[in-house]
Amino acid sequence: MSSLYNVFFGFKENPFNLTPDPVFLYRSHQHEEALSNLIYGVQSRKGFIALTGEVGTGKTTLLECLRDFLTQNRIDFATIFNSRLTVAEFFEMVNYDLDLRCNPPSKTQVLLALNEVLLHNTRNGRTTVLIVDESQNLSWEVLEEIRLLGNLENRAGKLLQIIMAGQPEFDRILDDPTYRQLKQRVALRCTLRPFAESETHQYIHSRLATAGATNPALLIPDHVVSEIHVRTQGIPRIINSVADNLLLTAFAMAEKQVTLEMLDEVSNDLRLEWGAQRVSRERIFDDQSYPRKVAGRRE
C-alpha cells in the first residue's frame, strides 16, 4: 500500500520497507563495526561469532550484507533462518544449502559429506560458513550439534565459520553455565544497540536519499525526526513503520511535509508507547527549541 505515495514524493522505491535490504544499509558506527567483525571473523577463520541485539536493531540486515559478501567472494555458506527446527531438520537444511546431495539426508550422511566439503574447501584455500539467525530459539540439542561442528579444525584454523545472530536472550543462553562449552568457543561477540539521536537523523536521511528523495530534510523536518527518535527509542524497525505511516498520512492529505500532528496520529494508530512524558502541545508552538530539549532530556 505504501508504494502508493512513491510517485507523489518522487521516490524510485519505498524508503521505509521492512525487508532487510542491504541496498538501504546505513553504516552507523556500530553496524559498520559489526559487519567488519563478521567479515574479519570469517576471513581469519575464527570459528564462532555471536551477534546480538534487540528485535529490530538490524541483525538480519547485517546477515544479508554478509551473505552478499560471501556470494561475491564465492565462499560456500548455509543459512538457518527458521530456528525452531529439530536436529534432523537442521541437517536437512545444511545438506540442501551446501548442496551436499545426501539422499536421505540423515545426520551421519550429512556429517560425512560435510566433512569432505570442508576439507576440500580448506585444501583450496577457501572456507565455509554456517549462518544462524534467531539463535535464541534453538533447542539445546541443535545448539549442541552446532557446537560440535565448530570443533572441526586443522592447523590453519576452524574449518567451519559459524555466525550466530540472536535477541538478547541468546546472550543470556551463552552466559548460562549449562552452555559454557559453547560460550568458550565464541571468538567474537558483537552487540547492536538502538540508534542515538544523531544516528536516527542520519538513518532517516540516508533511507530517503537512497529511495531518491532530493531534499529529505524538507520532507521530514529535523524537529519531527527528533520526536520520532524519542517515540521509537531509536529502534530502526519501529522508525521504519512510523516514517512509512507518516508519509502515507502526508500523501493522503496531499502535503509534501510531515508534521508533529501527523506524528501524533500515527503514534496513536501504532499504539506507540514511550517512556518520558510529553510536553503539552502549547509549549511546542511557544518554544522553538522544544524538540531538541525534549530529546536531550530523555537521552
Which residues contact Mg ion by CB under 5 A?
A: 59-60
Residue number with CB closer to Mg ion (60 or 115): 60
Q: Cell numbers 506524528 correspond to what residue?
A: 263
Q: What angle do CA 127, 63, 214 make, to 5 degrees?
A: 130
Name which of residues 220 to 279 contact ligand ADP (CB under 6 A): 236-237, 240
- Among ligand ADP, Mg ion, none, partner that 160 touches (CB below 5 to 8 angstroms by kind): none
Between the alpha carbon of residue 276 and those of residues 76, 231, 279, 299, the distances in Å are 48, 9, 9, 10
In the list 2, 14, 28, 249, the residue contacting ligand ADP (rule: CB under 6 A) is 28
Count of other CB atoms within 10 angstroms of residue 81: 12
Q: Cell numbers 539521536 correspond to what residue?
A: 197
- Quick check: 61 and 21 in contact, CB under 8 A? yes
Q: Kindly report the backbone phi and psi dihedral angles of residue 18, in degrees, each rounded to the nearest multiple of 5, phi listed first.
A: -90, 0
270: Cα within 13 Å, side-chain hemisphere = 23
- Among ligand ADP, Mg ion, none, partner that 79 touches (CB below 5 to 8 angstroms by kind): none
CB of 80 to Mg ion, least distance (A): 13
CB of 240 to ligand ADP, least distance (A): 5
In the list 18, 119, 148, 252, the residue contacting ligand ADP (rule: CB under 6 A) is 18
- Quick check: 231 and 30 in contact, CB under 8 A? no
Instruction: Note whether 23 binds ligand ADP by CB under 6 A.
Output: no
Name which of residues 51 to 80 contact ligand ADP (CB under 6 A): 53, 55-61
- Among Mg ion, ligand ADP, none, partner that 291 touches (CB below 5 to 8 angstroms by kind): none
Residue number with CB closer to ligand ADP (91 or 170): 170
Whose CA is closest to 161, among 73, 102, 237?
73
- Among ligand ADP, Mg ion, none, partner that 6 touches (CB below 5 to 8 angstroms by kind): none
Between the alpha carbon of residue 85 and those of residues 97, 104, 135, 144, 248, the distances in Å are 15, 18, 11, 13, 38
CB of 220 to Mg ion, least distance (A): 25
Residue number with CB closer to ligand ADP (61 or 127): 61
Residue ranges in contact with ligand ADP by CB under 6 A: 18, 20-21, 24-26, 28, 31, 53, 55-61, 236-237, 240
